[in-house]
Structure 1
Amino acid sequence: MGSRREVEGWLEAGRIKLNGKVASPGDQAGEGDHLALDGKVIHLDAAMMPERRVLIYHKPVGEMTTRKDPEGRPTIFDQLPRLDRGRWVSVGRLDFNTSGLMILTTDGQLAARLMHPSRRLVREYAVRLRGELSPEAVEKLTTGVRLEDGPARFEEILDGGGRGQNHWYHVILREGRYREVRRLFEAVGATVSRLIRVRYGPVELPSDLPRGKWRELKPGPVRALMDAAELVPEAPLAEAPTQSTGNPARAKKTRRKRPASPNPD
């Protein structure tokens, strides 16, 4: 009936009543409850409730992660399967020039909990720099630098190798501030020429999922996300057809050193 922000506005304005009382954020309603918006009864039944679906999308450079762009640029939502009920909610964002893993779900509560700073879920990126980091720069980036919105650091930096002026690193952090990876490298004078998100929490970007394609997660990975969000599955878990062809996009995982990206140019 509206976006999350619209409904939150209705709640703040007291326009929604649950069982005769003004509803508040966090109230739950289901079959048998009396729900009304501006005095108009909303009939609840199981058929209205969208299935909990979760998919991953390999975002290419050049797409926005907003639903609509004022400049008319393509968005990730243009590529996603259409829903009969509910809507896709993205778990975090990637900027226009960043590619890689996006997680999308029909469960707004799941998305909100996965993004909440208290969860401290791992975000891992493959980063191509122009040149190598000095030991001093690595030390500074892992102990902390001060950005305009507060201190920040990488939890780990793994050397991925490279050739010429192109050198790859894998970096891990547990928050998702705006352009944080790029700003951290800029703070030590390093220039990022390519940035790919390869992991978010327990979900990794599959090596065989091409850019611009999506894949529905199976119940096992969805339950792993639910566990990471500390949510108990209530809605049914659904599966959908997959789209899966293409080139590897992730370096093989190691503890201390990573090989170069499959696409080092």
Structure 2
Amino acid sequence: MEAGRHPAARAPRAGGRPSTPDAGENARLARPPRAAAPARGGRGEHENTALAEPERLQKVLAQIGLGSRREIEEWVVAGRISVNGLPAELGQKIGPGDRVKYNGKLIPLRFTVRTPRVLIYHKPEGEIVSREDPEGRPTVFERLPILRKGRWIAVGRLDFNTSGLLLFTNDGTLANRLMHPRYELEREYAVRLLGQLDDEQLESLKTGIQLEDGLARFTSISDEGGEGANHWYRVTLSEGRNREVRRMFEAVGLTVSRLMRVRYGPVTLSSRLKRGMWMEMPEAEVCSLAGLPKPQGQAARPGEQVRKTRLHRTTPR
């Protein structure tokens, strides 16, 4: 086996427009922050026709892509959001007919269950998971299709020098579901080390390593072999702290020379998806991931959905 290749990579809402004189203003003026030009290369948004019950303000606004729940909570505290002309409150519920403004502009609300969009991206090394970088390094967002409304939210992060599976969604609620520690979604990585773990180091990594931000442990470690100074392992953990995998191996005296995420929860990186490429997750799979009812009348024969899924290779904008 070549030292530079790793065996682990084989896995590799009905509309809630108020019936007021401001309805036209609502449609004309309301724009989510950082809304972009018409979409390129993506499918349209799908909606379920069942009306939803009144929901918490931050949840509704996150679902339409205004921002993450945490950002929206900060805007509420700062007084940037109003409901029916009054300052919004944290945890406030809204329903059809309520008029919500952000920085004085009306926001079009949706009270139907909308299927989120999810992109699966194979991040190469040398890209940063941030919208802007003072150092001018390329960002993952430069590769993604432009949304008509809302924005892409990265599900977790990967370091500048880490490659592999990275998910994006236009739904803040789903992003929270995928990232919040209470859901304990497993992350799986292929790791190339300079050196090999001994039994004592293996046991320490499984039982727990004390890092500066708390105890960290791998839920599993498997030896994937290697030649010379390089040795491959596959590891899983159920949290996503900054540089956690690298820091854990450094804590037992070994250096990570290459790191690649190959799975996030139930989503596995396909061998068809090469570095720098992205694909849109099929709607039925998104519904399963988000815990939503599956779309009606779209059942596919085994293997059919895979053939219909398009892979996209883009260059940074």
Question: Does the alignment reach a TM-score above 0.5?
Answer: yes
Tell me the equivalent position of 1:242. Answer: 310
State the shift of 1:86 in Å. Answer: 1.1
1:36 matches 2:119? no
State the shift of 1:139 in Å. Answer: 0.5
1:137 matches 2:205? no
CA distance in structure 2 between the partners assigned to 1:216 and 1:188 by the alignment: 39
Tell me the equivalent position of 1:182. Answer: 246
CA distance in structure 1 between the partners assigned to 2:94 and 2:119 by the alignment: 26
Tell me the equivalent position of 1:147. Answer: 211
Deviations 1:35-89 (A, max 9, x none): 2345x46152559x98621011000000000011111100000100111111100
CA gap of 1:78–1:157, structure 2 versus 1, over 3 A, is same
1:14 matches 2:79? yes
State the shift of 1:234 in Å. Answer: 11
Looking at CA atoms only, which structure, 1 or 2, has the larger radius of gyration?
Answer: 2
Tell me the equivalent position of 1:126. Answer: 190
Structure 2: unaligned runs, 5 residues or longer: 1-31, 34-66, 297-304
Percent identity, aligned pairs only? 54
Mapping 1:61-80, distance limit 5 Å: 61-80=125-144
Mapped contact 2:190–2:260 kept (Cα < 8 A): yes
Deviations 1:82-140 (A, max 9, x none): 11111100000000000000000000111022111111100000000112110111001
Structure 1: unaligned runs, 5 residues or longer: 246-265
Mapping 1:40-59, distance limit 5 Å: 40=104, 42=106, 44=108, 46=110, 52-59=116-123
Letter matched to residue 243 of structure 1: L
Deviations 1:157-197 (A, max 9, x none): 01111111111100000000010000000011111110000
Mapped contact 1:198–1:204 kept (Cα < 8 A): yes
Tell me the equivalent position of 1:116. Answer: 180
Mapped contact 2:162–2:259 kept (Cα < 8 A): yes
TM-score by length of 1: 0.81
TM-score by length of 2: 0.68
Tell me the equivalent position of 1:162. Answer: 226
Number of residue-to-residue matches in the alignment? 238
Tell me the equivalent position of 2:280. Answer: 216
Does 1 or 2 have the higher relative contact order (CA < 8 Å, sep 6+)? 2
Mapped contact 1:156–1:172 kept (Cα < 8 A): yes
Cα root mean square deviation, aligned: 2.8
Q: SS at 1:163's partner residue?
A: coil
